[in-house]
Amino acid sequence: MNNLIRPGIAVLYMKVGNHARESLEDIIVRKNKEIADCGYTFWGYGGNTCHPETMVQPFAKSFEKRGETVHLFMEPMNSSHFAEPLVAREYSIDGLKWRPIPSAIEVRGSRFALAIKKLNKADFELPLHQTVVAVGNSSGRRGDLYVKGRVDKACLEIKDDPATPNIEQPSKHIGLTAELVEPFAVYLKEKR
């Protein structure tokens, strides 16, 4: 069994694919270079199910206080994201104070970004029925009942008492992993 699938592990799950006219493979190469150059990078995303300030930051900070790392588990999917590949120039932790994104990091076509390091290819199953939503209004809800339809990302905790799997969502194939680092998640802005 994968050593990241054990009780108490914090997982930010998301689907990933081609984005802003760039293939997933090209994104992985670019992001690994950015990590080599800066020690971390920003992984862009959208949607409010993992809002930086109300979801991801409190989630990551709660596990950081326990001495735990939040792991990003990414499920590759077919995607035809054709948004304009506009490059963010600034980031903010709180949406008020803005800072320049380091010149070695490029985030395209995204409203938000996760701060990550140690981006690696992976090949294992995430048993969603063994997770619960760890933050927000759906806190405590089983992961396999939460991640469905348009919900393609979630802040989860792996539990030691797995429920009977939802036959429609038994597990998710994880193809990439990373670790979240401070400031965990940020807002992005295209103009300086």
What pLDDT is attached to residue 192? 43
Residues of the chain with pLDDT under 50: 1, 192
To 5 degrees, how large is the angle CA 83–CA 13–CA 76? 55
Q: What are phi and psi of 183, to 5 degrees?
A: -95, 15
What pLDDT is attached to residue 44? 94
The answer to whether 9 and 158 have CB atoms below 8 angstroms apart is yes
Q: For tokens 């009942």, name the residue.
A: 145
What pLDDT is attached to residue 165? 61
> What predicted TM-score, i.e. pTM, was given to this entire model?
0.92
What pLDDT is attached to residue 164? 62
The answer to whether 138 and 48 have CB atoms below 8 angstroms apart is no
Identity of residue 55: M
How would you classify the pairing of strands 112-126 and 131-133?
A: unpaired
User: 3-state class of 52 per DSSP?
Assistant: helix
Burial 73-82 (b: 16+ CB within 10 A, else e): bbbbeeeebe
